């Protein structure tokens, strides 16, 4: 038996960026927009937070840092950055009705480029020896667990040891789930993704819903990038370190069949898959760990196939996913 | 206008013009709906009825002209504007979300903030249903509902958001007579309740039955309006088509009639497991036009597709008597073959499907590319032969007067009539032994319709077995030699086209025997 | 509200091809201006010298020109591979994985067969293995799409990462030296399994792709298969009406797509790099989607769209090193250009008319 008490927190920490990403993408996809730019958005969300934190740390000596500002500035920067990315995608696909796949892929190229470019520039600005930038002071604010976590043994470690962004992620997922299922806004949003013509005829402003869902979705996903640098990576930004987590988040959307509440547990499961190799004895054979890393993709694929074979109407992707809407289409 | 004067018109449209590209769908239309009346908007398919109404429901926006609601000038730029003005439209293609329940669909788009209070909504919906006499299961998902149930949900939805003006776009096209009667009763209830209604239709008897006044459109222009009590089928037809038409379709006596296609005990199910054809048996003879009548959705599409090898068949047989084979050769069994296999074994069948651009043609290709749809396999090797299709395209272009700039002009951009000429022309050019057409003249003007009738009759005289699925009983009765009537997937009768009368066929169309699909 | 100006969007009836390309050209021009402004802001150089640098980076020396053309060939080859699938409206974004798996198969043959077979046989095996591997990677999503209508975009996306992890696994299995985490140049001394050079080290892949371009053009426009693909892409119902076996066409076309991707993997590993890394495809599987789409699936036009992206990327690389910027700068410029071209399609399909709203507030 392996050490569950140390495994679960690590799985959770791996899972949180995915949870942000998938919640954001679910919101976006529910409006009928398949935003394949989410990986890029998450990069931008991360780097913007880093930039904000960097300048704040530069401007203020560590001992006089204000907790609210230390957290608030990077968060606002991150949200603003991913909002801009969401807007860019929205303008192109909603207003200009561009192909969503192509726009999304271009957005990912662009976003990863931005992340690595500014990351690289900041690294150069610090004149650091190592190719990374460390914002440990800011990170300390982000990763602070609940105060009494250490006193509660395994319970504290498993449930209370995370930074506030982790709890926020779960909160956002629960709220999103509630909004989608139980509120009028959620009903309208789902209608837009299922059948924009119907929603339009019912007097719902399709364009606004698509914009809102895509932009809010981007901002949520961007927080995943922020969590990754500030909490998971202890404030250390190095280029390409975020890796393919953005795509994994998109996989998670399919895996959870478009339900943010399932995503909470599923993201932790995926996080667990991601680090499983550390816990399963594979001897000195490092290569096996690469195969373990394949598990999330394989299980997602299996879910995708099973769902399409079962043909249950409620489990299908939003009917209009990936298609632009033009009212006067004839 | 004097403010004290009572409001008389629910809707007034002045000088409305709407174009789609170079096509003028509505030209300088002046139209009035009075308060508390049921107005029929009459016109042939493609006369611009739906376009005009879509400008009231906010789907389209007029290029020119002004709309008044309750005598106030308004700009309806979105469906929301229309709702705010109390205008609700029930579209022909229902605007419902399939995976939502009836209640969810009904409350969709309403403003009340915050939590979704479905309980309260449900109460109001039940009230509306009781008031006007609707029957629906509110918790059913739309995709589980029948067409008439969906329509009911649509109407309740419009009423729920307080519409005072209701527009129904061809509501009876998909209904059985019983359902139609129910609908008309509900409409009268609504009128009694002070609502103003517009019903779009091209069925004259319905116009006369339900409306107070009739407005007629023809080719995008407003022809005029009459009080229903002063109108007759004949006078309305005259207005609709411009001049009085006795159809006068030539119907030569069949010669050398012989069985060509023998269908026996054909039964099919759709992918949801619903029985679409139930023990259908008939014979299509060479040298005859066999008409197929029925309410929309009675199995016509399934029947033709099953014969063409496009629909899975669970029971029954379809035997083809090959005119080229020797006298004693046994007929060929087509069940179990796909379209290519049917073609390969020498069965020459032509099929003009109902969905022209979605099934019979490739919209983005020109005439030549579409000719290839039937001939692409011809010729040896891996490459296409473009020459023969090009020649065929040119021939059809000339002989059928297809209006198009070139044979490579995408057919999607042609008008409906020209699209149909391309399709029918191609199918006839195959020199078929069986020619099947579904709603071959739907949406076409009178002249093109006659062109099509003549082509079909020519084919019949050449010894082709023609199957004509139609919706206009007058045409069926004047064109076809025999008429098979489908009802709920069953054959309810086969009558002689020369002796049968409309009432008889109408009765067969609505006779349901032990079939509960149309409640 | 009175007399408010309203923008009214409607679909264009038709636009002559030269106007359409003029709009695209204008978009590219506008994008280049924006790129210049961005670059100027970053570097303080004037835009002309920036574009001179880009041009120098791409074509400055004979060697650079060759590398640029080779890069062009690789990108174009992958774009050609995805095109038949796209024409069928099958959103294959799995070229990344299909190329990589082809490269992996190539590597496997080079490493495992080097000691047992003569060089020529090794190369034959490599070709077969690479094409087969790519074809399998294309077959799987197509099979499920054809049978159960499984979403192909998401399926192929997942297949990319499965390929990546497989490659990562084998790279460690075959790593040289132990613990290095990479393979290094394979068979460096014997050059077994290295594809033969024609003229110079660049020409082979260029020639292969040049031939492929011509073949693909003819295949799509003049062959029966090409016609089937076009019909299936337009409407599956029309296709079955015409007697086309839709499932078979979907599977066949994706197998072809995958096989060409596998071939590109062979060129990358056996002809160009002589090693395998998980990033050997370097995102070109995704870029290919854009190249193909921007060229409206026309193989000839794809030469120009891929040239644009390759020159830009190589030029931006030069800018990065000349002005001490990060190499990712190229991605940003590429992104900007793509956004402009993607956006310009709107003005080709739709027209905007400005009208005064005559009505009062509703």
User: In sequence order, which residues have a C-beta less than 8 Å from that of residue B373 and are 6 or more positions away?
Assistant: B361, B362, B426, C231, C238, C241, C242
List all residues of chain B from 83 to 122 with a beta carbon under 8 Å from chain A.
83-84, 89, 91, 95-100, 104, 107-110, 112-116
Comparing CA positions, the residue from B147, B508, B461, B474 lying closest to residue B297 is B147
How close B34 gets to chain C, by Cα (Å)? Answer: 20
Pairing of strands B196-201, B165-169: parallel
Greater model confidence, A198 or C212:
C212
Mean pLDDT of C316-334: 79
Q: How many Å apart are CA B151 and CA B165, to the nearest integer? A: 17
Question: Residue B272: what are its φ and ψ, rounded to 5°?
Answer: -90, 0
Give me the pLDDT at residue C267, please. Answer: 94
Q: Which two tokens stand for residue A98?
A: 């561009």
Which of B241, B266, B287 is the last residue in one of the domains? B241
E strand map for B252-391? 258-269, 275-286, 289-293, 315-320, 332-333, 349-352
Rg (chain A; Cα; Å): 20
The number of beta carbons lying within 10 Å of the beta carbon of residue C18 is 9
In a domain, A326, yes or no: no
Most confident of A187-191, B240-244, C311-315: A187-191
| ipTM (interface pTM) | 0.86
Hey, CA dihedral for B94, B99, B102, B103, is it positive or negative? negative
Mean pLDDT of C255-275: 93
Residue whose C-alpha is closest to residue B281's, from B309, B310, B301, B261: B261
- Token readout for B151 is 């329509």
* Confidence (pLDDT) at B514: 38
How many CA atoms, within 13 angstroms, populate the side-chain half-sphere of residue A82?
A: 35
- On whether residue B248 sits in a domain, the answer given is no
Question: Are B334 and B259 part of one and the same domain?
Answer: yes
Q: Is residue B15 part of a domain?
A: yes
Interface contact C242, partner B, CB < 8 A: yes
Tell me, yes or no, whether A95 lies in a domain: yes
Instruction: Provide the pLDDT for residue B332.
Output: 86
Task: Report residue B319: phi and psi, to 5°.
Answer: -110, 135
Q: Based on the fold, state whether residues B51 and B14 are members of the same structural domain.
A: yes
Same domain membership, residue B332 and residue B192? no
Residue B18 forms part of a structural domain = yes
B353 within a domain of the structure (yes/no): no
Whether residues B168 and B291 fall in one domain: no
How would you class A49 by CB atoms within 10 Å of its CB: exposed for 0-12, middle for 13-18, buried for 19 or more?
A: buried
* Helix orientation angle between C299-322 and C62-87, rounded to the nearest 10 degrees: 140
Closest Cα partner for C82 from C144, C160, C1?
A: C160
Selection from B206, B204, B158, B198 nearest residue B181 by Cα:
B206
> Do B138 and B184 sit in the same domain of this protein?
yes
Residues 6+ apart with CB under 8 A from C266: C102, C103, C106, C126, C127, C130, C131, C195
Query: Per-residue pLDDT for C1 more than 50?
Result: no
Contact A46, A287 (CB under 8 A): no
**How far off is chain B from C229, nearest CA to CA, in Å?**
12
Same domain, B149 and B174: yes
Chain C residues whose CB is inside 8 A of the B377 CB are: 224, 243
Bridge pairing between strands B258-269 and B315-320: antiparallel
B412 touches chain A (CB under 8 A): no
Q: Please report all neighbours of B, defined by 3+ CB atom pairs within 8 A.
A: A, C
Based on its alpha-carbon atoms, the radius of gyration of chain C, rounded to whole angstroms, reads: 23
Mutate to test the interface with B, among A201, A259, A315 (most CBs of B within 10 A): A201
Domain endpoint, select from B181, B208, B241: B241
Domain encompassing residue B394: 358-430
The answer to whether position A322 is within a domain reads: no
Answer whether residue B515 shows pLDDT above 50: no
Residue C266 pLDDT greater than 90, yes or no: yes
Q: What is the pLDDT of residues B415-454, one digit of tens each?
A: 777 888 888 889 888 888 899 998 888 767 667 788 889 8
Instruction: Verify whether the Cβ–Cβ distance B358 to C240 is below 8 Å.
Output: no
Terminal alpha carbon distance of chain C: 9
- DSSP type of residue C274: S
- Averaged over B465-488, what is the pLDDT? 87
B163 and B295 fall within a common domain: no
Domain coverage including residue A217 = 4-315
Between C351 and C124, where is the model more confident? C124
Q: Which chain A residues have a beta carbon less than 8 Å from that of C91?
A: 101, 322
Between these two residues, B272 and B518, which has the higher pLDDT value?
B272
Give residues with Cβ within 8 angstroms of C352, minimum separation 6: C7, C8, C9
Instruction: Assess if residue A175 is contained within a domain.
Output: yes
* B247 belongs to a structural domain: no
Q: Give chain A's domain count.
A: 1
Per-residue burial over A285-322, b if 16 or more Cβ lie within 10 Å, else e, is eebbbbbbbbbbbebbbebbbebbeeeeeeebbbebbb
Give me the residues of B, 58-117, that contact C with CB < 8 A: 61, 66-67, 72-77, 81, 84-85
Claim to verify: residue B46 and residue B117 sit in the same structural domain: yes
Residue C177 CB contacts under 8 Å (≥ 6 apart), including other chains? none
Query: For B123-153, what is each residue's pLDDT tens digit?
Result: 889 998 888 888 888 888 988 888 888 889 9
Range C197-224 average pLDDT: 90
How many Å apart are CA B382 and CA B376, to the nearest integer? 10
- C-alpha of A238 from chain center: 18
Interface test with C, best of B13, B339, B385 (most C CBs within 10 A): B339
Q: In what order do the strands lie in the sheet with B482-487?
A: B349-352, B434-438, B465-469, B289-293, B482-487, B490-496
Of residues C149, C286, C335, nearest to A308 (C-beta): C149
Interchain contact, B372 vs C227, CB within 8 Å: yes
For residue A134, what is the domain's CATH number?
Answer: 1.10.3470
Query: What integer best gives the mean pLDDT of chain B?
Result: 84
Query: Mean of the pLDDT values across residues B187-204?
Result: 88
Of A183, A188, A203, the CB nearest to B115: A183
* pLDDT category of residue C329 using cuts at 50, 70 and 90: confident
Task: Assess if residue A324 is contained within a domain.
Answer: no
Substitution target in A292, A299, A308 with the highest count of C β-carbons within 10 Å is A308
Q: Residue A126, Cα to own-chain centre: how many angstroms?
A: 28
Contacts of C219 (CB under 8 A, 6+ apart): C84, C225, C226
Residue B44 pLDDT level (bands cut at 50, 70, 90) = low
Which range has the worst mean pLDDT, A194-208, B211-225, C187-201? C187-201
For residues B313 and B175, membership in a common domain is answered with: no
CA-nearest of B59, B74, B58 to B14 is B74
What's the full length of chain C, in residues? 362
Cα–Cα distance between C153 and C91 in angstroms, integer?
5
B400/B299 same-domain check: no
Q: Residue B375: which of B430, B305, B412, B437 has the closest Cα?
A: B430
Contacts of C325 (CB under 8 A, 6+ apart): A117, A120, A121, C42, C43, C319
Is A313–B115 a contact, with Cβ atoms under 8 angstroms apart?
A: no
Q: Of residues A72 and C330, which shows the higher confidence score?
A: A72
Quick one: three-class SS letters along B370-398?
Answer: HHHHHHCCCCCCCECCCHHHHHHHHHHHH
What CATH number does residue B189 fall under? 3.40.50.300
Mean pLDDT by 10 residues, chain A (330 residues): 77 93 95 92 94 89 84 94 96 91 91 89 78 82 76 76 89 94 90 90 88 96 94 85 85 88 92 79 69 86 88 81 70
Please report, rounded to a whole number, the percentage of residues in chain C having pLDDT higher than 70: 94
Total domains in the fold of chain B: 3
State the sign of the Cα–Cα–Cα–Cα dihedral B173, B174, B175, B181.
negative
Q: Which of B213, B241, B269 delimits the end of a domain?
A: B241
Same domain as B121, residue B107: yes
* Spatial CA neighbour of B47 closest among B21, B16, B26, B22: B26
- The partner residues of C291 in beta bridges, in order of sequence, read none
Query: Do residues B366 and B337 share a domain?
Result: no
Model confidence band, residue C133 (pLDDT cutoffs 50, 70, 90): very high
Contact B81 C362 (CB under 8 A): yes
Supply the pLDDT for residue B512: 43
Q: Tell me, what's the pLDDT at A7?
A: 85
| B21 — pLDDT class (breaks 50, 70, 90) | low
pTM given for the model: 0.83
């Amino acid at each position: 038996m392996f050490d569950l008490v140390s495994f679960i927190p690590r799985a959770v920490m791996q899972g949180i960026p995915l949870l942000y990403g998938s919640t954001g993408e679910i919101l976006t996809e529910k409006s009928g927009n398949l935003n394949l730019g989410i990986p890029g958005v998450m990069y931008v969300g991360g780097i913007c937070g880093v930039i904000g934190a960097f300048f704040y740390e530069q401007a203020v000596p560590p001992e006089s840092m204000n907790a609210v500002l230390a957290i608030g500035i990077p968060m606002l920067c991150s949200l603003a950055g991913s909002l801009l990315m969401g807007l860019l995608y929205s303008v192109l696909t909603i207003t200009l009705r561009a192909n969503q796949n192509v726009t999304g892929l271009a957005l990912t190229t662009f976003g990863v480029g931005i992340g690595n470019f500014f990351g690289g520039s900041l690294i150069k600005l610090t004149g650091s020896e190592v190719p990374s930038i460390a914002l440990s002071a800011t990170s300390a604010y982000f990763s602070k667990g609940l105060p009494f976590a250490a006193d509660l043994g395994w319970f504290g470690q498993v449930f209370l040891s995370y930074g506030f962004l982790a709890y926020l992620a779960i909160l956002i997922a629960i709220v999103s789930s509630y909004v989608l299922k139980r509120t009028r806004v959620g009903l309208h949003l789902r209608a837009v993704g299922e059948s924009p013509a119907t929603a339009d005829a019912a007097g719902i402003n399709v364009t606004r819903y698509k914009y809102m869902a895509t932009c809010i979705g981007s901002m949520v996903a961007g927080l995943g990038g922020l969590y990754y640098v500030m909490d998971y990576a202890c404030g250390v930004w190095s280029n390409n370190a975020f890796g393919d987590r953005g795509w994994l988040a998109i996989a998670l959307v399919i895996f959870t069949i478009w339900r943010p509440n399932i995503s909470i547990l599923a993201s932790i499961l995926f996080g667990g898959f991601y680090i499983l190799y550390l816990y399963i004895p594979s001897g000195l054979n490092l290569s096996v760990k690469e195969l373990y890393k394949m598990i999330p993709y394989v299980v997602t694929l299996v879910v995708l196939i099973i769902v399409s074979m079962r043909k249950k109407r409620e489990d299908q992707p939003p009917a209009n996913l990936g298609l632009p809407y033009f009212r006067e289409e004839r | 206008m004097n403010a004290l004067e009572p409001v008389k018109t629910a809707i007034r449209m002045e000088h409305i013009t709407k174009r789609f590209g170079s096509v003028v769908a509505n030209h300088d239309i002046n139209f009035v709906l009075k308060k508390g009346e049921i107005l029929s908007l009459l016109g042939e398919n493609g006369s611009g009825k739906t376009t005009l109404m879509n400008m009231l429901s906010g789907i389209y926006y007029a290029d020119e002209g002004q709309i008044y609601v309750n005598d106030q000038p308004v700009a309806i730029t979105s469906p929301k504007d229309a709702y705010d003005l109390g205008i609700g439209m029930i579209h022909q293609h229902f605007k419902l979300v399939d995976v939502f329940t009836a209640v969810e669909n009904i409350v969709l788009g309403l403003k009340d903030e915050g939590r979704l209070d479905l309980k309260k909504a449900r109460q109001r919906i039940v009230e509306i249903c009781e008031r006007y006499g609707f029957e629906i299961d509110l918790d059913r998902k739309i995709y589980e509902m029948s067409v008439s149930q969906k329509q009911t949900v649509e109407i309740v939805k419009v009423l729920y958001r307080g519409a005072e003006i209701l527009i129904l776009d061809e509501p009876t096209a998909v209904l059985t007579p019983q359902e139609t009667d129910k609908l008309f009763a509900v409409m009268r209830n609504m009128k009694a309740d002070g609502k103003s209604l517009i019903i779009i239709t091209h069925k004259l008897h319905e116009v006369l039955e339900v409306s107070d006044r009739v407005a007629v459109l023809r080719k995008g222009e407003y022809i005029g309006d009459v009080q229903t009590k002063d109108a007759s089928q004949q006078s309305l037809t005259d207005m609709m088509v411009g001049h009085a038409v006795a159809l006068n379709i030539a119907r030569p006596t069949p010669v050398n009639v012989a069985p060509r296609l023998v269908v026996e005990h054909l039964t099919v199910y759709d992918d949801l497991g619903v029985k679409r054809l139930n023990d259908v048996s008939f014979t299509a003879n060479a040298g005859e036009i066999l008409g197929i009548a029925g309410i929309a959705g009675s199995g016509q599409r399934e029947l033709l597709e099953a014969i063409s090898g496009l629909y899975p068949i669970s029971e029954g047989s379809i035997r083809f008597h090959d005119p080229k084979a020797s006298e004693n050769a046994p007929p060929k069994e087509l069940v179990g073959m796909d379209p290519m296999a049917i073609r390969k074994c020498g069965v020459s069948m032509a099929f003009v499907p109902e969905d022209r651009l979605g099934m019979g043609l490739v919209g983005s290709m020109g005439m030549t590319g579409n000719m290839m749809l039937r001939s692409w396999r011809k010729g040896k090797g891996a490459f296409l032969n473009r020459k023969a299709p090009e020649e065929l395209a040119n021939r059809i272009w000339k002989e059928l007067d297809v209006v198009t700039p070139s044979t490579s002009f995408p057919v999607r951009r042609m008008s409906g009539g020209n699209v149909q000429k391309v399709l029918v022309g191609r199918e006839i050019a195959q020199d078929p032994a069986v020619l099947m057409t579904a709603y071959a003249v739907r949406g076409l003007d009178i002249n093109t319709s006659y062109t099509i009738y003549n082509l079909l009759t020519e084919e019949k005289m050449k010894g082709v077995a023609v199957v004509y699925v139609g919706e206009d009983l007058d045409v069926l009765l004047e064109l076809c030699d025999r008429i098979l009537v489908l009802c709920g997937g069953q054959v309810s009768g086969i009558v002689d086209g020369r002796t049968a009368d409309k009432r008889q066929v109408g009765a067969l169309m609505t006779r349901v025997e032990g079939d509960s699909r149309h409640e | 509200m009175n007399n408010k100006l309203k923008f009214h969007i409607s679909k264009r009836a038709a636009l002559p091809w030269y106007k359409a390309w003029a709009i695209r050209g204008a978009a590219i021009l506008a994008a280049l201006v924006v790129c210049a402004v961005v670059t100027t802001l970053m570097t303080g150089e004037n835009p002309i010298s920036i574009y001179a640098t880009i041009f120098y980076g791409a074509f400055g020396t004979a060697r650079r020109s060759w590398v640029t053309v080779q890069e062009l060939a690789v990108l174009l080859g992958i774009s050609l591979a995805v095109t038949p699938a796209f024409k069928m409206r099958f959103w294959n974004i799995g070229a990344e994985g299909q190329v990589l798996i082809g490269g992996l198969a190539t590597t496997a043959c080079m490493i495992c067969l080097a000691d047992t077979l003569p060089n020529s046989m090794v190369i034959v095996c490599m070709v077969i293995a690479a094409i087969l591997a790519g074809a399998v990677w294309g077959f799987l999503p197509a099979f499920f799409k054809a049978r159960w209508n499984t979403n192909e975009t998401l399926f192929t996306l997942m297949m990319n990462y499965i390929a990546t992890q497989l490659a990562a696994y084998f790279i460690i299995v075959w790593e040289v030296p132990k613990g290095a985490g990479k393979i290094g140049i394979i068979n460096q001394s014997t050059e077994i399994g290295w594809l033969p050079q024609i003229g110079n080290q660049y020409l082979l892949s260029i020639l292969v792709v040049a031939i492929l371009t011509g073949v693909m053009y003819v295949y799509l426009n003049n062959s029966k298969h090409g016609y089937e693909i076009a019909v299936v892409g337009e409407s599956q119902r029309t296709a079955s009406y015409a007697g086309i076996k839709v499932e078979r066409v979907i599977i066949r076309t994706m197998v072809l797509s995958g096989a060409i991707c596998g071939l590109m993997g062979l060129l990358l590993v056996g002809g160009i790099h002589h090693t395998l890394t998980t990033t050997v495809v370097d995102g070109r599987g995704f870029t290919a989607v854009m190249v193909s789409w921007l060229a409206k699936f026309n193989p000839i036009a794809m030469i120009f769209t891929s040239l644009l992206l390759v020159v830009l990327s190589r030029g931006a690389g030069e800018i990065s090193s000349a002005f001490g910027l990060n190499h990712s700068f190229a991605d940003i410029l590429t992104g900007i250009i793509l956004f402009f071209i993607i956006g310009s399609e709107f003005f080709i399909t739709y027209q905007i008319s400005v009208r005064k709203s005559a009505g009062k507030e509703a």
